[in-house]
Structure 1
Amino acid sequence: MLLDQETENEIVYELCQLLGRAIVPVSRSDRPGGAGEGFGTAFFYTELVGATDDGEVVHEWLLTADVATRAAYGEIGLRPSVTEPADAASEPITLPDFADQWLHVPAVGLAAMPTGGLHGYAEDRGWRWRTQQVTDAVAAGVDAVARIGAAPGSAFVLALGVADDGSRPLEAVIERVVRDGDVPRITTELPAGYVGAPVFGVETGPDGELALHCLGLVLPAEDGGHPVATFDRIRSALAEATAGFR
């Protein structure tokens, strides 16, 4: 769905307000102390896996592009807005054996980390995560992904860029998404730090209002644009990888 510029600008503002705390910076390196040689963005996703008498059962994941995690060393950055108290942790979470911390699905281009260890890390140091998540309700279903066509539609990427001083500012950009064969793709090449970031689209809901949904995540650039690992494939990959534990 292609929107007018005014509406696109309004959605960018709302996206930063609603999900600005869903994303964290990641960086990777092949040597100790060298994190920051490869930059990406990761985001929190809560997957609905069932229900009990006490309520819904969800799994929380940190998702990013597989390429952003394939290194011996890595860091997950901590922004002041995602910790409680704010500024409780100024140093990034440094992880040796970085690639081993993730569930890898190369066929999809996905890396997923269960967040139990991240919550334990915070608890051990006297703070807690204060995040927003891309929920199952916001993540695009099969039908929404299938409706992405050859005609360009409005898309919105929420990411942590890379400034000249090495800081990671929150950025939201307006792009175009099209279907290229079986794979939706962003039509332009994005700046450093955007790989792994969530991509959003909109559709008109039953009540006539615009409904925001997360199409998936940004994969590395190809031919001047970026393929998108869509949520229909992400859900299937997570279900298959964790089938024995649900």
Structure 2
Amino acid sequence: MLLDPDAESGVAYELCQVVGRAILPYRTSAGFGTAFFFRSGDDPVGEALVTAADLVGFPDGELGLRGSVTEPDGVAPDALSDVEIVPGWSRYPGDGVAVLPTAGLHRHAGDGGWRWRVQPVPAAIAAGPEAVARLGVDVSSAFVLAHGVREDGSRPLEVAIERVVRDGEDVRITDELPTGYVGAPVFVVQADAAGEVSLYCLGLVLPGVDGHPVATFDRIDAVLPATPGDA
């Protein structure tokens, strides 16, 4: 669904309110990216941090923290090194996805005297096969929540309003995104067969040239229950 500019601005604003605290900056020697919290149910056991597989697997991986995602104020560090978190990332290069179960993140926070205060993307809005199939060759509005990279090195939370299309069996964002956006969640608005309009998290941004493939949520769902380790 292609929205008018006013509607796009409204969706972008609402996304920041609803899932803004799901989004975290990530960096390694491979570059800058974004990761996000996803929860498959009400139980924190079903919670995971998700990003692009190409970003992880390097010894210097680091997850940035914002003051708004931890409490109490001033206790959590500015960043967490991957080596501090057990279990660590599981990479699924064939799907383009990396998954970090958050049990280690919560344990590390508790040991440090602080706790997470996040808004995971809920399973209720994860795009299923029907939502993905509704995408066509005509462009639809897409919204990417990410931590970009400013000239001074800061990593603010940003929303990019983009266009997404189906390209054969693949789903693609049509334009090249700024540095730091790989791994970020992509959202769309669609009307179902009954005409009811809903928001969906389509998937996450993968590296690309002249646009970006999207790892759709059917691929992400397939690896979420897996145990740690490359696959």
Alignment: residue pair count? 226
| Structure 1 residues 4-19: aligned runs within 5 Å | 4-19=4-19
Change (3 A) 1:41 1:142: same
The answer to whether residue 36 in structure 2 is matched with residue 43 in structure 1 is yes
Structure-2 separation of matches of 1:155 and 1:39 = 21
More displaced stretch, 146-155 vs 208-217: 208-217
Instruction: Give me the TM-score of the superposition, normalised by structure 2.
Output: 0.91
User: Residue 187 of structure 2 contacts residue 199 of structure 2 at CA under 8 Å; is this kept in 1?
Assistant: yes
| Distance (whole Å) between structure 1 residues aligned to residue 70 and residue 44 of structure 2 | 24
Report whether the alignment pairs 1:138 with 2:122: no
Paired residues of 1:27 and 1:40 also in contact (CA < 8 A): yes
What is the TM-score of this pair, normalised by structure 1? 0.86
Shift of 1:238: 2.6
The residue matched to 1:16 in structure 2 has which SS?
Answer: helix
Which stretches in structure 2 are left out of the alignment for 5+ residues? none
Q: Write the letter of the residue equivalent to 1:226.
A: H
Q: CA deviation at 1:181?
A: 1.2
Relative contact order, CA 8 A, sep 6+: which one is greater? 2
Question: CA contact under 8 A between 1:71 and 1:97: conserved in structure 2?
Answer: no
8 Å CA contact 1:27, 1:75 repeated in 2: yes
Which of 186, 191, 203 does residue 216 from structure 1 map onto? 203
> Which SS does the other structure have where 1:73 is aligned?
coil
Q: Unaligned stretches of 5+ in structure 1?
A: 30-36, 49-54
- Determine the C-alpha separation between the residues in 1 that align with 2:52 and 2:83: 18
Q: Any idea what the Cα deviations from partners look like across 1:189-223, whole Å, max 9, x if unmatched?
A: 0001000000000112588553111000000013x
- The match for 1:122 is 109
Q: Residues 94-173 of structure 1: matches in 2 within 5 Å? A: 94-96=81-83, 101-173=88-160
**Alignment-derived partner of residue 33 in structure 1:** none
Q: Between 85-94 and 6-15, report the one with greater CA deviation.
A: 85-94
- Does residue 237 in structure 1 map to residue 230 in structure 2? no
Pairwise CA distance, 1:70: 2.8
CA distance in structure 2 between the aligned counterparts of 1:58 and 1:201, rounded to whole angstroms: 27
Give the SS at the match of 2:224. helix
Q: Deviations over 1:129-151 (max 9, x none)?
A: 00001111011111001111111
State the distance in 2 between where 1:118 and 1:58 align: 12
Retained in 2: the 8 A contact 1:72–1:97?
no
